[in-house]
Amino acid sequence: MSGAPLVGITSYLEQAAWGVWQQPAALIPQLYVDAVTAAGAVPVLLPPQPVRGLACGLLDRLDGLVLAGGPDVAPDRYDTEPDPHTGAPHRERDAWEFELLRAALAADLPVLGVCRGMQVLNVALGGDLVQHLPDRIGEQGHQVAPATFNRRPVRVSRGSRLGAILGERTEVLCYHHQAVDRIGAGLRPVAWSADGTVEALELPGARFALGVQWHPEADPADPRLFRSFVDTLTGTSGLRGTSTNTLEEKSA
């Protein structure tokens, strides 16, 4: 894979156990690493850093940035009191990812946000979040059980970048109890669940700045999104092959 683009993937910082050890660890599900590798890039883990001001120099060495899924964004990032259902804040990770994202957007470095990553994108540009989606929509279909992805259909905007990649209807694997509410400045909603939940955001005019509320890394049978992202880094077409995961149009 000589000469392949380097893609930074943000990571958790958690207490973890392996072998005889139990201590703080920077980690990421292997699914992200596999998805980036299968798309033709070299993954680089980006653990949260306590020192501010590192992002610009670091991003100079990378070709793209993946904001991975993870814990809830701290509500004070969007000037809101925490809901009882909102998880404990991970302030070091929040600070690190917001710094990385802002530097990446300023440099027009391609960005793919996954689940929490899409929410970081929205909040960083002035948007806010629904802190507990079941309270808004009255059901738990976006997060049916702990550690269980749920496959759901989404509708994608015709003419969007995401629509060119996935088609106008597709099925996705979701696992989230929060969602975007007020949309951040300049962002465009481009995918929705049947209940109206925004499932994807794009930043028009950017080289590649796209967030999805679902988990494409968990669906290796459908590599189109990661392939399109990496193809942007290499300057090749974002559409390798044909759409294989679209749904038949159904009447309402």
- Among 97, 115, 176, 202, the one annotated catalytic: 115
CB 196 within 8 A of CB 154: no
115 given a catalytic annotation: yes
What gap in Å lies between CA 155 and CA 249, rounded to an integer? 10
81 given a catalytic annotation: no
90 given a catalytic annotation: no
Cα→Cα distances 216→32, 37, 91, Å? 9, 14, 26
SS3 content of the chain, % helix, strand, coil (to 5): 25, 25, 45
Among the listed residues 144, 141, 139, 106, the one whose alpha carbon sits nearest the alpha carbon of residue 125: 106
- Among 90, 176, 177, 215, the one annotated catalytic: 215
The first and second tokens of residue 76, run together, are 């004070």
Supply φ then ψ for residue 36, to 5 degrees: -65, -45
Distance of CA 6 to the CA centre of its chain: 17
Annotated catalytic residues are 115, 215, 217
